[in-house]
Amino acid sequence: MKIVQCECGHNNPYGTQVCEICGNPFDENEQLLNMRYEGAARRSQTYNTTIVDKIWNFFSSVKVGIWLIVLVLLGSVLGTVLPQQQYILSNAPPETFYEEQYGWFGWLYYTLGFHELFKSWWFLLLLALLGLSLIVASLDRIIPLYRSLKKQRVTRNTSFLKRQRLFSASEVEHPEESIQSVKKQLEQKRYKVKEENGNVLAEKNRFSRWGPYVNHTGLVIVLFAAMLRFIPGMYVNETVSIREGEYMAIPGTNYEYYLENEEFSIEYYDPTDEKYEAALERINGLQAKTYQTDANLYRNIGSTIPGAQPELEFVKSGKIIVNEPFTFDSISLYQTGYGTEFYKMMFQLANKETGEQFGTVEVNLDNPQEVHDLGNGYKVKVLDYFPDFEMKEDGPATKSKFPNNPGIAFSMISPEHPEGEISFVAIRTNVELGDNDYKMEFISMLNRDVTQLTVKKDHTLWLIALGGFIFMIGLTQGMYWNHRRVWLQQVDGEVWIAAHTNRGWDGFQQEITQCIQDTKLSEPVDQDVTVKKSKESE
């Protein structure tokens, strides 16, 4: 390993551009010093022998980091070209949806897996590599930067001063008094001033230099927390649909908690409200104001075996509305949707000829009762029930378990027909076997709402919040404060002013100008401008 020895006697690590102690630059050709990381050697440059070092050095490079940012950016853009699978119409099978909607391009998009781009292994890998780059690049820079800012000496090598961006050399009668006057001014502007042999180093807001590393730490914490979600038990994201009046086990609680949907309700904006009239007319019609589930939470103190009848103990009741989740333990229930189902069908047994009525039959479409005794020898039996009725070759059947199109076969028992007359009733259908004397008259249909809730448990939230907080602290500290340093030094009877900041040169220059206005020292010149001008004229 090579060591760079400075003329002041200090041994610097390999790769150092500016001596850690006195600031002597090792590259004599540059007109201005590259003050990035104080010219200290990045750790990665120091060793480069083993494969581990090579990988490390690769990820230490900001260039690589920027490429990773750009790749994540491009990947994200790619994910917006067509809608992701989670946002396409529900029930649409993705394998055909993309091709039908978007032709060959949709087919290609689906085939390449871009319909679930943000879950793909390569996108996760990119994010992870970005995380690695954050860790490695920060570690490699913060340590040498910390060392050189800690070690910096007040008196600097003249060629260090001369090659700062802001610089001036002035011949004045009383150099020491001038320096003291400027020093006082700087102190008033809250600079921390150090003095050595009549030379001055004034510095403020050094903490701003740690900003990037603080915010990188925050980001790494956020990425790590996002990864923790893959550990079982850390993160639950389920949905549950509950019909009004029913209860269901809350997913993710191992049948310990049950939720009852007491009532689901929708409130609409008043379409005659003057305020909203115009807008509501434009979207022609109703606009929901609130979706609300009135829920009761129960704890199951009985068997927690799936399917077993739970023994429920009331815990609490509350409402679940959009934007206001219902929480208990570490679980949150969100109102995410609703539906409406046929619930009960009401019929009347009637004599076709006389119109005489013998009582009503209420069929619960979720779980119909088999026998309905109407008294006086009148009875209605449900022979068969098809929740989602369709006619097939071998007779009536159901398409699904949902009562979308209920079809019911009745046997109507009357004193005249103790064997029963058969009638099949569905919506807008009434089929009889033979010529019946009685009929099942449809009276009404009762609907009920089904609420859809999202069940969330997230033990990573606090960590994400912490990471986000640290990230914002780091951004603020790095971006809203600027590290400023002024060196005042006597060199061969002249007073040299050199100054450095990481941002906001214009304001800095003005600040220094204000501090020297009581003296005859000349204003420091922005050498970046002069250097550029001379380069242009070449």
Site map for another protein, 279-298, x if CB under 8 A? xx-xx---xxxxx-------
> Minimum distance between the CB of residue 274 and another protein, rounded to whole angstroms?
10
Residue closer to another protein by CB (options 157, 264) is 264
Q: Facing residues of 450 across strands?
A: 243, 339
Terminal Cα-to-Cα distance of the chain (whole angstroms):
40
Query: Backbone phi, then psi, for 43, in 5-degree steps?
Result: -55, -35
Is 524 a binding residue for another protein by CB under 8 A? The answer is no
Under the binding rule (CB under 8 A), the answer on residue 265 touching another protein is no
Is residue 526 near another protein by the rule CB under 8 A? Answer: yes
CB 457 within 8 A of CB 236: yes
Residue 342 Cβ vs another protein, minimum distance, rounded to whole Å: 12
DSSP letter at 324 equals: B
From 192-200, 293-301, 437-445, 521-529, give the range in contact with another protein by CB under 8 A: 521-529
- Rule CB under 8 A: choose which of 16, 332, 405, 423 binds another protein: 332
The span from the CA of 37 to the CA of 142, in Å, is 8
168 Cβ neighbours under 8 A, 6+ residues apart: 496, 497, 521, 522, 523, 524, 525
**CA–CA separation, 60 vs 138, rounded Å?**
8
Among 23, 39, 65, 252, binds another protein (CB under 8 A): 65
Site for another protein in 333-372 (CB under 8 A): 334, 336, 365-368, 370
Cα–Cα nearest to 222, from 472, 464, 461, 459: 464
Extract the tokens encoding 12. Answer: 């610097």
- Considering only 160, 264, 298, 385, the residue that binds another protein (CB under 8 A) is 385
Q: How far is the CB of 36 from another protein (least distance, A)?
A: 7
Handedness of CA 98, 99, 101, 102 (dihedral sign): positive
Q: Pick one of 45, 84, 265, 360: the residue that binds another protein (CB under 8 A).
A: 84
Contact 24, 6 (CB under 8 A): yes
Write the CB contacts of 199 (distance below 8 Å, at least 6 apart in sequence): 154, 155, 179, 487, 488, 489, 490
Residue 143 has a CB neighbour count (10 Å cut-off) of 14
Which residues, 88 to 147, sit near another protein by CB under 8 A?
101-103, 118-121, 124-125, 128, 131-132, 135-136
Check binding of 301 to another protein (CB under 8 A).
no
Nearer to another protein, 150 or 275 (CB): 275
Give the number of C-alpha atoms closer than 13 A to the C-alpha of residue 113, restricted to the C-beta side: 8
Tokens of 229: 């979600």
Cα 74–chain centre separation: 18
Least distance between another protein and beta carbon 388 (Å): 7
Cα–Cα distance, 88 to 69 (Å, whole number): 28
- Indicate the residue among 348 and 530 with the shorter CB distance to another protein: 530
Exactly one of 53, 99, 256, 523 binds another protein (CB under 8 A); that residue is 53
Binding mask 448-477 toward another protein (x if CB under 8 A, else -) reads ------x-x----x--x---x--xx--xx-
Complex with another protein: residue 175 or 406, whichever CB lies closer: 406
Q: Which stretch binds another protein (CB under 8 A): 247-255, 339-347, 410-418, 444-452?
A: 247-255
Q: Are 305 and 271 in contact (CB under 8 A)?
A: no
| Shorter beta-carbon distance to another protein: residue 136 or 515 | 136
For the CB of residue 328, give the shortest distance to another protein in the complex, in Å. 15
> How far, in whole angstroms, is CA 124 from its chain's centroid?
15
- Among the listed ranges 16-24, 155-163, 198-206, 270-278, the one in contact with another protein (CB under 8 A) is 270-278
Could you say which of 185, 398, 411, 414 contacts another protein (CB under 8 A)? 398
Stretch that binds another protein, among 21-29, 187-195, 319-327, 422-430 (CB under 8 A): 319-327
Determine how many CB atoms are found less than 10 A away from the CB of residue 80.
Answer: 9
For residue 73, state whether it binds another protein (rule: CB under 8 A).
yes
